Amino acid sequence: MSAKSEDMNGHSSSEIVASDRESTPASTSHEADPIADPGLHHPPPRLTDVDPKAERRAERQVAGMFSLASILLVLSIVAYIVFEIAPDDPDDGVSVGDVQISNFTLGITLGLATLLIGLGAVQWARALMKSPELVHERHELRSDDNIREAALADFETGTEETGFGRRKMIRNSLLGSLALLPLPAVVLLRDLGPANGPSPVDAKETTIWSEGVRVVTDVTFQPIRAADLELGQLVNAMPETFEDLPDHGPERINARAKVPVMVIRMAPEELHVAEGRENWHVDGIVAYSKICTHVGCPISLYERTTHHMLCPCHQSTFDLADAGKVIFGPATRSLPQLPLAVDGEGYLIAQSDFHEPVGPTYWER
């Protein structure tokens, strides 16, 4: 192998260029099985290598792409300035259309500019750069045995020098302290949870529903008169006490994740009343937790004719006419039912809190 050689692209270097090896195909037993290696197959020269016209054309293409990219980059700044999104009068609010125009013009100019820079560079490399096909030999990655042994010997010498094997007391006390090191790191995470207040298990077992709390409509917080509910009607409802919770802090949103109920009126004869729940409904008006017992999505799709309730997240389906039992899907537990009653003015109230925790199953339940 000569130190310097010229390949067909005029490339000069001391590398092993493919064309040099063509005449000496490798022929180990594997490579000659069942036919001998005919050596590298060279692609024919590119059009740009043989035709000066094609070469000039490719040059123009590349330069054109780069120049167009520059123009587009300037245009993107123009778009930034021209397509304002701030409204003339702050009270008016933004126009979503303006935002979309700004987004589109900025994105198109920047996107096309980067795309053209990329295409230009690739085209330059593909059509114009001298591109010798190089062959590099691989070497086995394993070190040779002498070096491996020498490294091992060095390691043993070092280990010997520490006395790690002999000084068992030091070694064991070190290992002991290192083993304990992760513990404080874990313990320090304890205060991720609140320091006081109810335990997680207690918190799961209670909600702000309690005896005599009025059932009010969600969003508008109007009390619900039992007589006003029509047959087949479903109302999303909340406890009246929810409104008093402070806006700030987690208390309100935490309650929001636990207390929503669905109040449905069905014909009393359609209702299959479970044992012990005989007085939980008011003339066929029942209330169930809205939080799915599978993984906690709010349930929302009600089929009026069958009283089936479907969770849109994973399609657990509950029969509201039959104690909220699961009739399809991955949920394992019935929807908790809220015992209802009416107060002196005819409004729906809760008899008590739920008799079981709402939401997904957890270990201590």
Shortest Cβ distance from residue 175 to other proteins (Å)? 27
Q: Which is nearer to other proteins, 171 or 256 (CB)?
A: 256
**Which value, in Å, is the radius of gyration of the alpha carbons in the chain?**
39
Distance of CA 216 to the CA centre of its chain: 36
Q: Which is nearer to other proteins, 53 or 136 (CB)?
A: 136
The angle at the Cα of 344, spanning 276 to 286, to the nearest 5 degrees, equals 35
Shortest Cβ distance from residue 360 to other proteins (Å)? 4
Shortest Cβ distance from residue 325 to other proteins (Å)? 11
Give the Cα separation of 219 and 143 in Å (integer).
73
Shortest Cβ distance from residue 249 to other proteins (Å)? 7
Give the Cα separation of 127 and 129 in Å (integer).
6
Shortest Cβ distance from residue 338 to other proteins (Å)? 14
Q: Which is nearer to other proteins, 65 or 349 (CB)?
A: 65
Chain position carrying tokens 């792409």:
65
Chain position carrying tokens 């293409």:
61
Q: Which is nearer to other proteins, 12 or 162 (CB)?
A: 12
Give the Cα separation of 88 and 86 in Å (integer).
7
Q: Which is nearer to other proteins, 82 or 150 (CB)?
A: 82
Q: Which is nearer to other proteins, 140 or 161 (CB)?
A: 140
Q: Could you tell me which of 245, 239, 237, 235 has the C-alpha nearest to residue 214?
A: 239
Shortest Cβ distance from residue 57 to other proteins (Å)? 19
Chain position carrying tokens 């245009």:
75
Buried/exposed 169-180: b ≥16 CB within 10 Å, e otherwise? eeeeeeeeeeee
Shortest Cβ distance from residue 274 to other proteins (Å)? 19
Give the Cα separation of 8 and 28 in Å (integer).
28
Which are the contacts of 198, defined by CB distance < 8 A and separation ≥ 6? 206
Q: Which is nearer to other proteins, 134 or 175 (CB)?
A: 134
